[in-house]
Structure 1
């Protein structure tokens, strides 16, 4: 799964996403946690990024707390699960990041060591995401999202049995196509990202608390 990630770059450093429009300013985030705002590019916004709440609330849900359980969506079943299949067809997004965390069980199995995973060149990337819009009884609306996961690549398999889907930049346009898409066209994009471009290092347990949103979270130990 993916339960924490980072987006520490300045908007001016998002050269890899030059075709997209971003907020002029946003604070660096070193410990993004579920239910918090994440920067995403939905497929209905003509390449314009906005902030979504992390944890998908399906539009038909009567209970918004379901979003706490839907921070990730298994790529193998998104075409069948009621919570995700509509969004897969109509509401996809890129979720911007420049790293993420995973916890590896220690030999005693009683404690875990957090690891920070990122690109070797430290450039930002995009998770494959799904989004939806939920309307509350008081008339207000909220846009939420989830990160799709898949089987781990060689690097991640030593840490966990899942990893977030990181899209290849050449697939951004297809993922953001505003027209309805079949699962047959989209599921081939749900693949483990290349190990050769990624690296990981152990970090302090400071990251265990979401309130610790500081640069020290990513420092190697």
Structure 2
């Protein structure tokens, strides 16, 4: 899953990387948590074929997807992630998969290895970042929820997939990463149906991310400094938990601003 992430890029970097017309100034954020506003990128409804204007725009939305048919969000589960394997079939995400796909820029994400109770192992937080640095784009979905009084809230979820071997020893899920060369295809909800972009809903290459053990201070949403990403000695070593087949191969608190 993806329960915390960071975005420390400058607006100028995002403008260049995603081909945006403008991005409002915003601070570096080292501990983005559910229900907080997150920066997302959508295809511009005003873009016309052959136009020289940028065809993407950036928005701030609430991290926590609320389907339009929900009557009272207070009684509905907080959907921060959507399983990519089943999102097209789920009532909560079906329409958004067809009509409202987005990109979620990130510098990386946090994940926790939580061993079974009684195992004697301690939980360990990890900062998972691209080995080569830079910004990644998570696949996401957006939905605008309207209340009875006419007010609206834009909400979003991050799509996840099965973890690759580099991350699987920490957690069995990870965010879907959309490569830069595929971002236009992912955002194209006019001509691309979910079956046309299903091949993008896969884990990134094994060597794409690196996992850095960090302190449990990231658990507290009030901690927001860059020191959250400082490497620490792991509290307990963890095995890769390889399958027999893999062994054979080897032997061969949240804040709300809405």
Residue 106 (structure 1) shift: 4.9
CA distance in 1, matches of 2:78, 2:121: 24
2:79 paired residue among 52, 63, 70: 70
| Deviation digits for residues 35-77 of structure 1 (CA, Å, limit 9, x no counterpart) | 0001001234530111111010111111223665210000110
What SS class does the counterpart of residue 127 from structure 1 fall into? Answer: strand
| Deviation digits for residues 130-159 of structure 1 (CA, Å, limit 9, x no counterpart) | 001011122111101000000101111111
Distance change >3 Å, CA 192–CA 61, structure 1 → 2: same
Distance change >3 Å, CA 203–CA 67, structure 1 → 2: farther
Are 1:127 and 2:134 matched, yes or no?
Answer: no
1:89·1:180 contact (CA, 8 Å) conserved in 2?
Answer: no
| Bigger CA radius of gyration | 2
Where structure 1 has 5 or more consecutive residues not aligned to the other structure, the ranges are none
TM-score by length of 1: 0.93
Distance change >3 Å, CA 37–CA 67, structure 1 → 2: farther
2:65·2:79 contact (CA, 8 Å) conserved in 1?
Answer: yes
Residue 14 (structure 1) shift: 3.0
Distance change >3 Å, CA 131–CA 114, structure 1 → 2: same
Which residue pairs with 1:21 in the alignment? Answer: 21
Two-structure CA RMSD over aligned residues (Å): 1.8
Which residue pairs with 1:198 in the alignment? Answer: 209
CA distance in 2, matches of 1:186, 1:18: 19
Which residue pairs with 1:97 in the alignment? Answer: 106
> How do 1:79-158 and structure 2 match up within 5 A?
79-106=88-115, 108=119, 111-158=122-169
Are 1:208 and 2:208 matched, yes or no?
Answer: no
CA distance in 2, matches of 1:203, 1:56: 28
Where structure 2 has 5 or more consecutive residues not aligned to the other structure, the ranges are 46-54, 233-258
Mean Cα deviation higher: 95-104 or 8-17: 8-17
Distance change >3 Å, CA 67–CA 132, structure 1 → 2: farther
TM-score by length of 2: 0.80
